[in-house]
Chain A
């Protein structure tokens, strides 16, 4: 069995002349919870749809569970769960009928899981799917995608529009699924607090380009903030290749920098300032700085150096 359940090589997609996904090389290890991050329009959903063979790449290729995405068999698909963005349901069916309908497509269908997720979201079998609230619809969709006990679960922005309680239930369900070490989840999200709770690994897609793919902790370690205090004019900033932003106020200069190497850090520490202090960033601040307007430069976090 391959170590990677998802593997892409130079995966590229154009819509007209617009490059939406650009030379993506992505690897998702079996057993991980993989957070797929990026701003709106970064190309996340397009990537996911190529992974599932729903649209063709313009160039490059993707493999899922060891097979090319364009050649996935019904058997392969039965091992993959996909929750599309938006929590779509057939509104005229009851919750029970939705389950019955879905189960026909899967050789393995665990009705216990289906019912457990429903009760977690406080759903009644007799409810019409069309009358459900957003959070309940999310619960139903999740129950439908979890009941076949897929080896690989792909969730496209599953938390969109959910209240905090429903979001917590979603996270609990994700952790429940990965109790078994051979189950993998890839999920896209804008909610970095959720990502922080559940993700082992993350990747950051920015305007179609993969800008980081690493362990969550590695990302946090590689994006660093320093506060420099000085008297008078203050020093000129050395040319740091990974500089994301700098902000000067009276007597203070704060900078955020990615992938600072020992040489860069030495140059920073050698500046003629009164004090230099490292100020840790929250995941959200690190992310915003990394893909924000000022963070234009493209580079990878040198990675897969394992986190102990």
Chain B
């Protein structure tokens, strides 16, 4: 698996969050496929020169979200996609992400339909969850 993680110190986003985001993205974009093994906590911590607890925290959060799963004694693997977040939490995160997106794009002065069309085009780079909640 040729996954290149990187972390930036001095960012408003804590390191564990940066790791989480990169793994979530890699899974969503199909760069990490279902059943694929992630580097061990220790290996990734060494590779990134960060405290192992930071990596462990990122893995724990992703496990809670159902993105990855731990197999006793074998390590962490990309899980079959299933939705573990509540409807309310999913909506909250969607709105949060939407606001971030709009903050970055509003000054570009594209009409909304144009924005949506481009979003749709870009989304083809992401694989669809096989069994997402209706």
Chain A: residues with CB nearer than 8 A to chain B? 33, 168, 171-172, 175, 179, 192-194, 196-200, 217, 220, 277, 279-285, 307-308
Contacts and interface: CB of A to CB of B under 8 A. Distances in A.
A196 B9 contact: yes
Contacts of B15: 196-197
Given A175-B45, A308-B60, A200 B53 contact: yes
B10 A33 contact: no
11 contacts: A175-B46, A192-B9, A194-B9, A196-B9, A196-B14, A200-B51, A217-B14, A277-B99, A279-B12, A283-B10, A283-B14
Contacts of A179: 42
Contacts, number: 50
B50 interface: yes
Interface in B39-61: 42, 45-46, 49-53, 57, 60
A282 B10 contact: yes
A279 B52 CA distance: 27
B49 A168 contact: yes
**Majority secondary structure of chain A interface residues (helix, strand, loop or mixed):** helix
A200 B14 CA distance: 13
A197 B10 contact: no
A155 to B, nearest CB: 15
Interface in B58-79: 60
Interface in B1-18: 9-16
Contacts of A279: 12
A175 B49 contact: yes
Given A175-B50, A193-B10, 17 more contacts: A172-B46, A175-B49, A175-B51, A179-B42, A192-B9, A196-B10, A196-B15, A197-B49, A197-B50, A198-B50, A217-B16, A280-B12, A282-B10, A282-B12, A283-B10, A283-B14, A307-B57
A104 to B, nearest CB: 33
B14 A197 contact: no
Nearest to B99: A277
A220 B54 CA distance: 14
Contacts of B99: 277
Nearest to B48: A197
B14 A220 contact: yes
Interface string B3-39: 0000001111111100000000000000000000000
Contacts of B57: 217, 307
B107 to A, nearest CB: 15
A217 B16 CA distance: 10
Contact of A171 (B10, B11, B14, B49): B49
B110 to A, nearest CB: 21
A199 B12 CA distance: 17
Q: Which 10 residue pairs spanning A and B have beta carbons closest together?
A: A193-B9, A280-B12, A196-B9, A197-B50, A282-B12, A198-B51, A282-B10, A193-B10, A171-B49, A200-B53
Nearest to B51: A198
A168 B49 CA distance: 8
Contact of B9 (A175, A197, A200, A220): A197
B12 A281 contact: yes
